[in-house]
Amino acid sequence: MSIIKKWAVTTFILSFFVIIAGGIVRTTQSGMGCPDWPKCFGSWIPPTNASQLPPDFEKYLQRQDIDHTFNAFHTWTEYINRLSGALLGLFGLIQFVLLFLKRKALRLPYKFSVAYLAIVLLTGLFGAMVVKLNLADFSISVHLLFAIILLQIQLGLLLSLQSKLFVIPIDRKIKQLFFIFLTIILIQSILGTGVRIYVDNVSKTLHYEQRETWLASKPLSFLIHKSFAWIVLLMAGFTYWKCRNIVAVRNKVLFICLIILMSVLTGITLFYLDMPAVAQPIHLFLASCAITLTVSLLMQTRTIEVR
């Protein structure tokens, strides 16, 4: 049992790492560093310099969206991202096997493991489609959505292994407040996706240079995302105020509030400090944490009637 729990925790952490790796790929414009799939420049181990490119390398370089030249950094950044995804698939498979052997005693965790393995395989296949579509905006967003869903499934698996699903009794109105809170966070995340699509398009036309101009025109998608951040912050503060006397969830809600505050601060950093590359994956990571922690809160609580 302890081995299964440790494996589940490791898989959960690795799921976060894969999301960060994907964010780094986008930040460094390395998405087409390997312009073919599943191989990279027609090889299972990509080249480290131009002299190692295959004779027909030009057909690969033509698909890139940067300068159509070989860049070892971009290639290996994307390759490591793919390796992390493959490793996640392997962890998901081993997790499934471990729980399959205990499926009668651990029926619910086993079901979660089946769902996790199915989604991780689907995510990998969709990753191939992202490459085929040359990083189309919609495909990238769907790929990220799959990764977020993976986190929530693994979270459910972990909580079920620890017997923490729906164990904290709370008032029905507080539970409903948590659902509203999660909905607002998800809306803000969708708005953020709109900003990312705009930034991707602008940065591509500027050959990924002049980062200080990427949001200079203050597009409508950015202004809405920026304004809605105040609603998220106010909702976070209101949720904590409503839970201030509920010992079982008070600190959990406070931690979510701090994560949201840090996410807002990284957003401010991105705008006022000319889109520093390091802040982009951190912003994505914090948003993923806020969603996952709020889902965790919903999974751990159950409603009771308060008279």
Under a CB-based contact definition with an 8 Å cutoff, are residues 266 and 198 in contact? no
Beta partners for 147? none
Looking at the structure, tell me whether residues 178 and 246 fall in a common domain: yes
DSSP-derived secondary structure for 150-217: HHHHHHHHHHHHTT-TT-EEEEHHHHHHHHHHHHHHHHHHHHHHHHHHHHHHHHHHTTT--GGGTTTT
pLDDT the model gives residue 101:
94
pLDDT the model gives residue 245:
94
Q: What is the rounded average pLDDT of the residues 201-222?
A: 84
Looking at the structure, tell me whether residues 12 and 159 fall in a common domain: yes
Looking at the structure, tell me whether residues 130 and 193 fall in a common domain: no
How far apart are the C-alpha atoms of 271 and 266, rounded to whole Å? 9
How far apart are the C-alpha atoms of 225 and 191, rounded to whole Å? 5
- Domain count of the fold of the chain: 2
Look at residue 59 and tell me whether its pLDDT is greater than 70.
Answer: no
pLDDT the model gives residue 232:
97
pLDDT the model gives residue 184:
97
Under a CB-based contact definition with an 8 Å cutoff, are residues 83 and 39 in contact? no
- Average pLDDT of the chain to the nearest whole number: 87
pLDDT the model gives residue 132:
66
Looking at the structure, tell me whether residues 39 and 183 fall in a common domain: no
DSSP H helix total and E strand total for the chain: 9, 2
- The string of pLDDT tens digits covering residues 68-126 is 677 888 889 989 988 998 899 999 999 999 999 999 999 999 999 999 999 998 887 77
Looking at the structure, tell me whether residues 152 and 22 fall in a common domain: yes
pTM here is 0.88
Least confident range of 3-7, 23-27, 139-143, 230-234: 139-143
Look at residue 248 and tell me whether its pLDDT is greater than 70.
Answer: yes
User: Among residues 164, 181, 205, which one ends one of the domains?
Assistant: 164
Provide, rounded to the nearest whole percent, the portion of the chain with pLDDT above 90: 52
Domain containing residue 284: 166-307
2-6, 59-63, 90-94: which is most confident: 90-94
Looking at the structure, tell me whether residues 156 and 54 fall in a common domain: yes
Looking at the structure, tell me whether residues 146 and 20 fall in a common domain: yes
Name the pLDDT band for 215 (thresholds 50, 70, 90): confident
Looking at the structure, tell me whether residues 265 and 159 fall in a common domain: no
Looking at the structure, tell me whether residues 303 and 236 fall in a common domain: yes
Look at residue 231 and tell me whether its pLDDT is greater than 90.
Answer: yes
Looking at the structure, tell me whether residues 11 and 37 fall in a common domain: yes
Under a CB-based contact definition with an 8 Å cutoff, are residues 96 and 117 in contact? yes
The structure tokens listed for 224 are 């809405």
User: Among residues 132, 164, 196, which one ends one of the domains?
Assistant: 164
pLDDT the model gives residue 238:
97
pLDDT the model gives residue 225:
95
Looking at the structure, tell me whether residues 172 and 119 fall in a common domain: no
- The string of pLDDT tens digits covering residues 117-168 is 999 988 877 776 766 665 556 666 777 888 899 999 999 999 999 999 999 9
Looking at the structure, tell me whether residues 53 and 188 fall in a common domain: no
CA atoms 261, 265, 271, 274: torsion sign: negative
Residue in 283, 293, 281 with CA at minimum distance from that of residue 254: 293
User: Among residues 128, 148, 164, which one ends one of the domains?
Assistant: 164
Under a CB-based contact definition with an 8 Å cutoff, are residues 194 and 221 in contact? yes
